[in-house]
């Protein structure tokens, strides 16, 4: 086992095998200072709190943990019906030297154990002892894979819980619901689950395989948490124009990595914290995060609101037609019928709106955060939606006029982002590492809450070719796809991925990264990567810095 730097608040433990990674993940669950563990095909990503433990002390404790005492308990067994009609069935059979029918029978005969989750909520990586299953991903991923598609990649089989892009080889589909937050556990293929497949024809008749399913069936897709389309009782905001994107966000849903659920949450947590402080809410109270020119109308008892984050023309129009200028970071009074208009940001990208009493909506796994990749939390807001707002009298603190003005960039500006190299910088040539920090990277229009798609004059050339087994990724990770143009992961990034990560933006610069509009140029700055230290037991140590409290990213 060796430890690699994943960020200034995360380590990547490289195990000798999938089985060892599973054992380490079980054994490390209750170690002080660890925020969350994300197991991968042969790794465990360890998120830690640098205010409670240093990286060096944590590595020593992880090394000394007795994994033999970990116990999995009684395994859960399920059976899933599959119609074997996948687009890649013939090519995979040919690749493995089998007939299509022989491939199907091997898939049915195998007992599959879910080792870990990732990519999307409910996506379980299940492995069998049958050595025939070693299948490369597609060279060109599909942009749309339907929900229920059954695929193969490497030694794993998996099922797509919802429509999404994907590069797995598709051999069939199932009608079963893979993810339902109203079920326990929400993920049908949760880690540790033993899965057998039974064959189903196109008309729904089971013709072979194991006995009937032992899991709970659920009809249709789960209904996502949503705001009301009819005016609620009490205080509320009505969306007149949602701009390019309007979402409800809070600190996210940490602690569900085992189900394939990432933390998500507010992209700019500094702006969220400042907004709540200005109106007297707790720092973690939900807010509205929006991009573009937006307009909302307030209804209810007199209250106080504030806008932080991006900077642009902002105006409050009263019911009598009077216009009042709104300044970023300064709380302002709102009465029933007042309309707030935010122009397209001139600096930064995301506005954050807080109202005294807090935004209220239906939660999903204990959070109101909208995860755009996973489809969790309230749906993106649209014109006509009504968002409930709490009682301003219930807010715990006094209104605090902060008047915070942050130096956010505009298109054409260049910003510096500090990064740590790793965990897979050794997959790239020395010239690529020089290009990473030696040239500017432009934020493209293909960016979103999943990540910033960057464009540089010199693409990053890989030294190691081939596929990387799926492993955990942090917010701020700089992942490099085959074209050599990086993606800087933001809060809604996949929990795991198979492209190498060359570095990660440090925690102190994550909020700035979330405020970069298309056209901004990034210059990455990194410390000297030298200074690797080796423990007496052969475990490789990479020194990490970080002593300040951090948020659960």
DSSP 29-94: TT-TTEEEEEE-SSEEEEEE-TTT--HHHHHHHHHH--GGG----SPPEEEEEEB---TTHHHHHH
- Please tell me the least confidently modeled range out of 264-273, 275-284, 321-330, 541-550: 541-550
Q: Which of 54, 42, 55 is nearest to 6 (CA)?
A: 55
- C-alpha 136/C-alpha 128 separation (Å) is 16
Mean pLDDT of 331-344: 97
What dihedral angle (degrees, nearest 10) is formed by the CA atoms of 283, 286, 291, 292? -100
Residue matched to tokens 């208009």: 341
What percentage of the chain has pLDDT greater than the value 70? 89
Both tokens of 353, joined, read 């709106």
Mean pLDDT of 327-350: 97
pLDDT tens digits, one per residue of 119-175: 888 999 999 989 999 999 887 788 899 999 999 999 999 999 999 888 899 999 999
Mean pLDDT of 322-335: 95
Residue matched to tokens 């909208």: 370
- C-alpha 337/C-alpha 367 separation (Å) is 29
Residue 405: predicted pLDDT: 76
- C-alpha 71/C-alpha 23 separation (Å) is 9
- C-alpha 434/C-alpha 415 separation (Å) is 18
Residue 70: pLDDT band (50, 70, 90) is: low
Residue 140: predicted pLDDT: 77
DSSP three-state, residue 514: helix
* Pairing mode of beta strands 206-208, 194-200: antiparallel
Q: Which of 533, 436, 438, 452 is nearest to 489 (CA)?
A: 452
Residue 224: pLDDT band (50, 70, 90) is: very low
59 pLDDT above the threshold of 80: yes
* Pairing mode of beta strands 294-299, 287-291: unpaired
- Please tell me the least confidently modeled range out of 65-79, 296-310, 378-392: 65-79
- C-alpha 439/C-alpha 454 separation (Å) is 12
Query: Cα angle at 424 between 419 and 428, to 5 degrees?
Result: 95
Both tokens of 250, joined, read 């809070």
Residue 374: predicted pLDDT: 87
| Contacting residues for 527 by C-beta, under 8 A, at least 6 apart | 420
Q: With contact defined as beta carbons under 8 Å apart, do 150 and 172 qualify? A: yes
Mean pLDDT of 382-402: 94
Q: With contact defined as beta carbons under 8 Å apart, do 246 and 288 qualify? A: yes
Residue 67: predicted pLDDT: 84
- C-alpha 483/C-alpha 518 separation (Å) is 20
101 pLDDT above the threshold of 80: yes
Residue 302: pLDDT band (50, 70, 90) is: very high
Both tokens of 179, joined, read 């993810």
């Amino acid at each position: 086992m060796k430890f690699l730097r994943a960020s200034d608040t995360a380590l990547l433990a490289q195990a000798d095998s999938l089985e060892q990674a599973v054992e380490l993940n079980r054994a490390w669950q209750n170690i002080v200072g660890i925020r969350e563990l994300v197991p991968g095909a042969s790794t465990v990503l360890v998120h830690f709190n640098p205010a409670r433990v240093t990286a060096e002390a944590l590595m020593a404790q992880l090394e000394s943990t007795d994994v033999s005492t970990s116990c999995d308990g009684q395994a859960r067994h399920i059976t899933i019906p599959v119609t074997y009609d996948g687009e890649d069935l013939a090519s995979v059979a040919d690749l493995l030297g089998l007939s299509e029918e022989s491939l199907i029978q091997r898939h049915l005969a195998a007992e599959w154990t879910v080792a870990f989750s990732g990519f999307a909520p409910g996506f379980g990586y299940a492995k069998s002892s049958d050595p025939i299953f070693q299948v490369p991903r597609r060279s060109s991923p599909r942009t749309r894979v339907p929900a229920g598609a059954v695929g193969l990649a490497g030694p794993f089989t998996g099922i797509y819980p919802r429509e999404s892009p994907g590069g797995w080889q598709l051999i069939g589909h199932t009608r079963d619901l893979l993810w339902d937050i109203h079920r326990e556990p929400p993920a049908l293929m949760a880690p540790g689950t033993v899965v057998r497949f039974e064959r189903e024809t196109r008309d729904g008749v089971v013709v072979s395989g194991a006995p009937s399913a032992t899991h709970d069936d659920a009809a249709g897709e789960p209904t996502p948490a949503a705001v009301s389309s009819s005016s609620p009782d009490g205080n509320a905001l009505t969306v007149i124009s949602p701009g390019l994107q309007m979402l409800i966000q809070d600190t996210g849903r940490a602690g569900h990595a085992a189900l394939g659920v990432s933390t998500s949450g507010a992209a700019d947590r500094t702006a969220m914290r400042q907004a709540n402080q200005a109106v007297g809410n707790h720092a973690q109270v939900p807010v509205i995060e929006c991009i573009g020119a937006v307009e909302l109308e307030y209804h209810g008892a007199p209250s106080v609101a504030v806008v932080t984050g991006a900077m642009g023309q902002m105006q409050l129009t009263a019911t009598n037609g009077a216009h009042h200028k709104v300044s970023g970071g300064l709380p302002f009074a709102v009465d029933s019928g007042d309309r707030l208009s935010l122009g397209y940001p001139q600096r930064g990208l995301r506005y954050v709106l807080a109202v005294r009493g807090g935004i209220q909506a239906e939660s999903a796994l204990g959070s109101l955060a909208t995860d755009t990749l996973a489809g969790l939390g309230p749906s993106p807001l649209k014109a006509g939606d009504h968002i409930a707002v709490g009682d301003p009298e219930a807010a715990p603190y006094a209104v605090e006029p902060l008047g915070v003005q942050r130096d956010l960039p505009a298109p054409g500006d260049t910003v510096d982002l500090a990064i740590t190299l790793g965990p897979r910088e050794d997959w790239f040539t020395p010239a690529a590492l020089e290009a990473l920090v030696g040239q500017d990277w432009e934020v493209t229009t293909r960016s979103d809450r999943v990540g910033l798609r960057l464009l540089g004059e010199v693409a990053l050339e890989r030294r190691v070719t081939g596929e990387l087994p799926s492993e955990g990724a942090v917010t701020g990770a700089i992942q490099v796809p085959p074209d050599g143009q990086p993606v800087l992961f933001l809060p809604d990034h996949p929990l795991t991925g198979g492209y190498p990560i060359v570095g990660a933006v440090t925690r102190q610069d994550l909020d700035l990264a979330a405020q970069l509009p298309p056209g901004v140029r990034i210059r990455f700055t990194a410390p000297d990567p030298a200074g690797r230290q080796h423990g007496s037991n052969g475990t490789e140590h990479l020194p990490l810095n970080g002593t300040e409290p951090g948020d659960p990213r």
